[in-house]
Amino acid sequence: MENQKQEKSLIEDLKTIIDQGRGNAYSAANKAMIVTYWALGKRIAEEIKGNDNADLYGKSLIPELAKELTREFGRAFSARNLYYYVKFYQYFPDFEILNARVQNLSWTHLRSLLRVDDESARLWYLNEAAKENWSSRTLDRNIATQYYYRLLESPDKEKVVTEMKLKTAQPENRPAELLKSPIMAEFLGFRPEDSYLESDLESAILSHIRDFLMEMGRGFAFVARQQQIVTETEDYYIDLVFYNIELRCYVLVDLKMGKITHQDVGQIDMYVRMYDDMKRKNGDNPTIGILVCSETDEDIARYSVLHDNNRLFMSKYLTYLPTKEQLRREIEKQKRVYYLQHEQDDSKED
């Protein structure tokens, strides 16, 4: 019994050491990212400012820079992001002052602050987010709901603060999860389809679904994995994107580990709308979304096609798409393979 207690204590100590190490790695990479983006913005802003026709020069220069940088370093240096970096420098020109306040803030936090034109409000959000250790989602929500101005005008400030804390309460991110951030991965040079998450069951299932759809031979062309969709308020990452040549439409796959919620259903519907608005071209049919759920006792799938009616969807689209039963069987097959492989790995270690 005493040995078991000692072993449990040892394991907890080791977990703490690993979490601290990963947290330090994340903090170092996060700081390097922010410094790099600020320096890029400064260099580009100075180049544009030195030109006689700064506005026109900037509009032509940044897309050209983006072509060269994305070719070598990836999507983190797209034209849209370069504009963000320039704005970042312009809003926070004194980096020493900024650096003293952002030790626990990420680039996602800072990009949200770029939406705040009022300098007083922007600095207040910056200070509060750092002091109160707000998550990026909390900061984003507080900006969207005009929290600064409501708090400023309210005679009962404590009530406003309490309401905010209740509505933004969420589990704390573990360092391991932060290191899996696609934004961090892109900065460090990983592509979204790289195998740095291949040990996870979720990643294994997604790989299997991708191969399964491609092997069906019904017009599926693979487009992207973890494709980034950028909006004014947030970045979204779609698990798998295909284009079906026979149907002439995009097919989006979103995997949820656990029971499907109403929020998950709403999210795949949102992805379909966003993809139709941002990616769909003339001649393309409405985008299809497939929400896949993997549970221990049941695997299910839900199809979403918002701009079409169910009759057309059932009669035409399901000729080319897998059925829910086929998807369920394939997920179960991959889960069995995954668990078998890990059992074999464990036995080798023993």
Q: Please give the model's pTM, rounded to 2 decimal places.
A: 0.57
Beta strands, E only, 72-137: none
- State both tokens at 178: 């932060």
Lowest-confidence pick of 97-101, 103-107, 254-258, 290-294: 97-101
Summarised one tens digit per residue, pLDDT across range 285-344 is 888 888 877 654 454 556 665 444 443 444 455 556 776 777 777 777 777 776 666 555
- Number of Cβ within 10 Å of residue 295's Cβ equals 13
Q: Give the Cα separation of 307 and 249 in Å (integer).
A: 12
pLDDT given at position 133: 84
Residues facing residue 235 across a β-bridge: 230
Query: What whole-number percentage of the chain has pLDDT above 70?
Result: 73
Q: Comparing 192 with 181, which gets the higher pLDDT?
A: 181
Across the chain, the runs of DSSP E, i.e. the strands, are 220-230, 235-244, 249-257, 288-294, 299-304
CA 173 to chain centre: 14
β-pairing, 288-294 vs 299-304, is antiparallel
Chain segment 18-37, per-residue pLDDT in tens? 878 877 877 788 888 888 99
User: Measured between alpha carbons, how far is residue 252 from residues 39, 41, 43, 123 in Å?
Assistant: 36, 34, 38, 39
Q: 312: which 2 tokens? A: 């057309």
240 sits in the region (left: phi over 0; alpha: psi -120 to 50; else beta) called beta
Q: Which two tokens stand for residue 225?
A: 């994995």
Q: Quote the pLDDT of residue 65.
A: 92
Q: Which residues pair with 222 in a beta bridge?
A: 242
* Band (279; pLDDT cuts 50, 70, 90): confident
- Higher-confidence residue of 341 and 152: namely 152
Task: Note the pLDDT of residue 306.
Answer: 46
Q: How many beta carbons lie within 10 A of that of residue 256, not counting itself?
A: 21
Domains of the chain (ranges, CATH numbers): 2-178 (no CATH), 194-349 (3.40.1350)
- For residue 181, give Cα distances in angstroms to 29, 61, 118, 176, 284: 12, 30, 29, 9, 32
